[in-house]
Structure 1
């Protein structure tokens, strides 16, 4: 009955889904890929996978793809004979995935219509489907179960905001969660919540957070100098990066930047909007503020190095970790506006001190741990952001201490990949 209700709602929603994706694709200058989203994979892609054992990993967007990187590496090392297919929902997530050497094929996740899901599953016939974080697609899970394909949720979490909504619909989600072969949750609280919603306790495991297994690769002075040169940044010019920013945050960052420069601290601001298509909007803001800037995509034609007081706007995909690695201080966006925050462990893993705002509901555990470790500072508003960034840019010693504490936090909490791989390996072995 619940699936009939769900299917009716899906077909009603189709009238909105198609225009939404057309608009989204046109506004971002990308193809809509409707054939793929309705289950028709390119013929050459299917042919390349024919006769191969496949592990299908689904990571909805950029954050989930980055979180899956340690797991993808472990899968490749443990099962080199298997092909890895990575699916995403967003264009940016797919762009990141296509650059990962462990991935053999990138596809869009089909819309959750039975015919579309079945068409893709029949074409690929994966030995296992790995779903990163809490992506619950009823028809996908139902069809995989009917075809005898095990599915495992990895790095699962239930945010404070979503828990109440899930509980109100637990009558719907209980039979859907039963289709998962295993559910690997980040914390004991996440495990408790997924069980309360309706998951079978015997299938729920606490495997910690894959994001702590990001590589802590600190650059040597020579490597740092070479990478800064690639971005036309002089080796001695300090870099302040605002990463994964959303609308409404750039204004606060620019106010802080002006204050830092006014205090006599030379530095370069690097702005990395969460959605690259917003680069034009960010550029308009900088122009209005009278701040000279260059787009990352046009650095080849710039010719001269950046100077203090200018701004680099990153309008490309997949370079955030490189930018973080040459930064002296990082503000992680999505946290001064109520979007739930972004992953503050990415700069911390690289030994860079991190500042973030109050809205971290999607990363509550990580935020608490990085604050406790001393690797990051939380601010409440734009005024406090200005004060904290100004103080840190003036204090090399405090920045270095915070960077070391962030790396130590990562080292202390590693091991999630191994815990996940134990469960994944057992499922792959039993599927033969």
Structure 2
């Protein structure tokens, strides 16, 4: 199976090179990986002590950030290498203050794994959630390097637990310890005889809770919202925006304000949203020349401020689950004590079902359901406030994963 896997990696490398001619995101990854070893050689000396943090993408980075910050504080003289597999993580966090060096993870070949670890030789390696690369992890294990996996979440249908998953299964044993989000993941690991497990919970709860300790004030949002009820749609995709636009055009009271923060902020997509709206709207990029007080819809054509915008929400809609792209972060609005509406494709997101069961989140599958739920939350103050309270309590009850991980590391 190892031979087949390695052949597959080389074929994937060839395929990505070909696809990069037609896809800018893939092209960024291909070009970025070409510079990884050069970057490491230029920024690391043989005598440097290092830590290695690896994340698949931006979501995993945010998930691991509370642990990364604690390790950064503890190991001030170490150089931290942060690697991403996805361009969406690297491009947004390539200047992360918690790392000295940020690179793309090279493709998972044996030669790349050896060269990568020759260069960084980490005192501690931290992987977040998943993105298990057998050749890298087997090389970590062969060198007897300390490695942990945090916020891991496993499902029975994953390759680790299938007859054909030996290569991936063996890679898990490179981790000295695995911290899982839940008991189900612990039981699945036990089924393959991996026993060095702690159910710590999800570090994202600690991450989003830290949002409450900072200043979330955005003057332009306060000017826009005034004292009116505000609905924030975060990380929306076209299928989500269709629901919102139809509601705004046909059912929304003028006393209700809407903020739409699309996942895709390409000008063509932003223009498409604005053209379909029949009410007055304004773009973030043009806000200085517009009257925000009289505008009903604020379209955020930038990134990096959504978590603060959620603090102004009375109701939140989180995108990704109306289609197949994957539900975006629902904990970010939940920490501000607001009710949340999502699409119906959320089976892989445990926190979504938990909040639905607690009455703080509402799943819809079509325009009719969206209109009904949104109108109920707008008109029924008691229901809206109770749902939001349930979400905040859910966050509070699930904090603490970071402390468990740091306790294991004796920090």
How would you bin the TM-score normalised by the shorter chain?
Answer: 0.7 to 0.9
Q: Are 1:256 and 2:252 an aligned pair?
A: no
Q: Tell me the distance in 1 between the aligned counterparts of 2:63 and 2:376.
A: 31
CA RMSD between the two structures? 3.0
Given candidates 287, 291, 312, the residue that maps to 1:304 is: 291
Q: Tell me the distance in 1 between the aligned counterparts of 2:13 and 2:114.
A: 18
Instruction: Report Cα offsets for 1:45-100 as digits up to 9, x if no partner.
Output: 524x6633222111211211221122122223443343332222223322443464
Q: Tell me the distance in 2 between the aligned counterparts of 1:50 and 1:373.
A: 53
Q: Do the aligned partners of 2:36 and 2:106 also contact (CA within 8 Å) in 1?
A: yes
Shift of 1:259: 4.2
Instruction: Report Cα offsets for 1:158-217 as digits up to 9, x if no partner.
Output: 246x43785252333332222222222111101222343x3x432233221112213436
**Which residue is equivalent to 1:111?**
107
Q: 1:143 to 1:306 in 2, by over 3 A?
A: farther
What is the 5 A alignment of 1:7-406?
7-25=6-24, 31-32=28-29, 34=31, 36-37=33-34, 39-42=36-39, 46-47=43-44, 51-98=47-94, 100-159=96-155, 162-163=157-158, 166-196=161-191, 198=192, 200-216=193-209, 226-229=217-220, 233-261=224-252, 264-277=253-266, 280-296=268-284, 298-299=285-286, 302-305=289-292, 307-312=294-299, 314-364=300-350, 366-406=351-391
Unaligned runs of 5+ in 2: none
Q: Do the aligned partners of 1:355 and 1:377 also contact (CA within 8 Å) in 2?
A: yes
Shift of 1:240: 1.4
Unaligned runs of 5+ in 1: 427-432
Q: Do the aligned partners of 1:46 and 1:123 also contact (CA within 8 Å) in 2?
A: no
Q: 1:174 to 1:420 in 2, by over 3 A?
A: same
Q: Tell me the distance in 1 between the aligned counterparts of 2:221 and 2:95.
A: 19
Secondary structure at the residue paired with 2:336?
coil
Secondary structure at the residue paired with 1:23?
coil
Secondary structure at the residue paired with 1:369?
helix
Pairs aligned (count): 410
Shift of 1:131: 0.8
Give the alignment's TM-score, normalised by structure 2.
Answer: 0.88
**Which residue is equivalent to 1:429?**
none
Q: Tell me the distance in 1 between the aligned counterparts of 2:47 and 2:115.
A: 17
Secondary structure at the residue paired with 2:174?
coil
